[in-house]
Structure 1
Amino acid sequence: MKALRSEVWIFLITTVFLVLVTPAYWFVTDASDEGGDWTGTSALVMTTLLAAMVTWYLGFQARKLDERPEDRKDGEIVDGAGELGFFPPYSWWPLWNSLVFGVLVLGVIFGWWLFMIGCAFGILTLSGWVFEYYRGVHAH
């Protein structure tokens, strides 16, 4: 089995810490009684589950990837040079989508007619954002 990556170790240690702290917090705040702190205990349980989920995902992905230069003790910066991927250029579509979302929220407040107008514009702006690399300057 491959050695675990550093990010997996970080989340694994965090998960173990939270597994130990959560019951201790429950006992210290006496959450078993009616006046206890159920909110903090619930938040710690959810945080533990979230950390465990991220640990599992990163560990699952680490097994599928080849060794990275940053995981080796003798790795150099130059070993990681090369193509890193596609980074999209500027886009105005997120602005228009957020404005349409504002219209949708205001439509729920002021009237469903405004919400329906927002839905129509939402279809237009979301389609523009999804298909922006199929036409125009940045077409592939």
Structure 2
Amino acid sequence: MKTSAWIFMLSVGFFFPIAFVYGYLTDFDELVGFPAILLVGGMTLMIGVFLWLREKKSPPLASDDLDAEIEDEHYEYGFYSPWSWWPILLCAGAALTFVGVAVGWWIMPFGGVLAVVGLVGLVYEYDRGAHAH
């Protein structure tokens, strides 16, 4: 966590000067880029401060130890369905919805229905049928 905090805090030192260079090169007439780069710098500052404060209250992570082994990370990654086809349907629906934004709004409802069917199928996959708990 300490490394992540340093990375975010160092990126603040990049975004703030770049914002002013960008503003100077555009004579501060461009009303989107300068404030947007400043906001990105502010957001990285907030994340860096949060990680820095959180690092003081939590035990050291294995990623902060230079002599750590891979098995020292002991996260719970969750349960994933190994033979499920529902994520493919869900991704196809999301892709079709985003294609609808780019190509034509009339495609979005078809993608939305497909995505909802895939999401409901994925959520309730282990509540019925052969894999019911």
Give the aligned length: 127
Q: What corresponds to 2:43 in structure 1?
A: 50
- SS of the residue corresponding to residue 49 of structure 1 reads helix
1:17 pairs with 14, 18, 36, which one? 14
CA gap of 1:138–1:55, structure 2 versus 1, over 3 A, is farther
* Aligned with residue 65 of structure 2, among 66, 72, 76: 72
Q: Gaps spanning 5+ residues in structure 2: where?
A: none
Say which one has the larger Rg.
1
2:124 pairs with 1:109 = no
Asked if structure 1 preserves the Cα contact closer than 8 Å seen for 2:90 and 2:117, the reply is no
Change (3 A) 1:137 1:16: farther
Matched with 1:98 is 91
Offset of 1:77 from its aligned partner? 1.6
Aligned letter for 1:29? T
Aligned twin of 1:29: 26
Query: Whose helix proportion is higher, 1 or 2?
Result: 2
Q: Give the TM-score, by structure 2 length.
A: 0.64
Question: Mind listing any 5+ residue stretches in structure 1 that lack a counterpart?
Answer: none
Query: RMSD of the TM alignment (CA)?
Result: 3.7
Query: TM-score, normalized by length of structure 1?
Result: 0.61
| Cα drift, residue 129 of structure 1 | 1.8
Q: Deviations along 1:80-133, whole A, 9 cap, x unmatched?
A: 16x4323524442222123334269489426xxx93x66555443212222335
Of structures 1 and 2, the one with the larger relative CO (CA 8 A, separation 6+) is 2
